[in-house]
């Protein structure tokens, strides 16, 4: 969902990803969409959704196997210690896979190349090569001290909320 706010400095509504105007898109709805900004290397493909689906299916299957194994062992009076051990191992696997799925949602996009257009106090307006602008209220003074107008920077956006997480000097891909 695009969020716009009227920017008095520019004289028109601009896309805004600040926390006050932010709207959270439901996770699965967002994963259905292909997100791209031309020429910026900002993208989200459907691989995380497939990984999440595989992870959740694996969790359900492992819990089903645990429950089935427990019922069978109790019915035939097998060694309960092995059953409990198997159940604990499967539960550990299930939790691990679920945490992996959660981690997929929180990973960041690749860096987006942007030019610093204006610095007004703690508000910095960035301009993407595609012509889109957005303002960011930077509360960290160490970032503000390093920024200057017309500087090319790399902005990383989180998958979940499209909020820039940090800014660094832009380096061409492959340069470390």
Structural domain includes residue 93: yes
Beta bridge partners of 157: 164
By DSSP bridging, strand 12-16 and strand 133-137 are parallel
Higher pLDDT, 97 or 125: 125
Same domain for 95 and 146, yes or no, is: no
Same domain for 100 and 136, yes or no, is: no
Structural domain includes residue 19: yes
Residue 115's pLDDT band, with cuts at 50, 70 and 90, is: confident
The reported pLDDT for the residue numbered 126 is 78
The reported pLDDT for the residue numbered 151 is 82
Average pLDDT in the 113-122 region? 83
Structural domain includes residue 175: no
The reported pLDDT for the residue numbered 90 is 72
Same domain for 14 and 57, yes or no, is: no
Residue 44's pLDDT band, with cuts at 50, 70 and 90, is: very low
Residue 38's pLDDT band, with cuts at 50, 70 and 90, is: very low
Sign for the CA dihedral angle at 53, 55, 58, 60 comes to negative
Q: Which domain holds residue 158?
A: 4-39+110-169
State pLDDT tens for residues 134-174: 777 777 777 777 788 888 777 665 544 444 544 555 555 54
- Return mean pLDDT, the chain: 61
Helix (H) or strand (E) holding 10: none
Structural domain includes residue 119: yes
Query: Which of 78-87, 118-127, 146-155 comes out lowest in average pLDDT?
Result: 78-87
Task: Say yes or no to pLDDT of 85 above 80.
Answer: no
Structural domain includes residue 161: yes
Same domain for 91 and 120, yes or no, is: no
Rounded to 5 degrees, φ, ψ at 129 are -60, -25
Higher pLDDT, 15 or 32: 15
Number of domains in the chain: 2
Beta bridge partners of 158: 108
């Amino acid at each position: 969902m695009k969020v716009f706010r009227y920017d008095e400095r520019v004289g028109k509504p601009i896309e805004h990803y600040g926390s006050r105007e932010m709207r959270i898109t439901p996770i699965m709805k967002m994963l259905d969409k292909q997100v791209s900004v031309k020429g910026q290397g900002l993208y989200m493909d459907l691989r995380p959704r497939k990984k999440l689906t595989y992870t959740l299916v694996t969790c359900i299957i492992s819990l089903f196997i645990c429950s089935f194994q427990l019922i069978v062992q109790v019915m035939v009076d097998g060694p309960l210690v092995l059953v409990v051990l198997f159940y604990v191992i499967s539960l550990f696997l299930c939790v691990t896979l679920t945490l992996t799925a959660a981690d997929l949602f929180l990973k960041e996009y690749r860096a987006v190349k942007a030019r610093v257009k204006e610095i007004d106090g703690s508000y910095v307006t960035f301009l993407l090569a595609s012509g889109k602008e957005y303002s960011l209220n930077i509360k960290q003074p160490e970032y503000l001290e390093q920024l200057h107008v017309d500087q090319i920077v790399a902005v990383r956006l989180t998958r979940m909320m499209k909020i820039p997480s940090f800014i660094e000097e832009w380096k061409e891909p492959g340069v470390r």
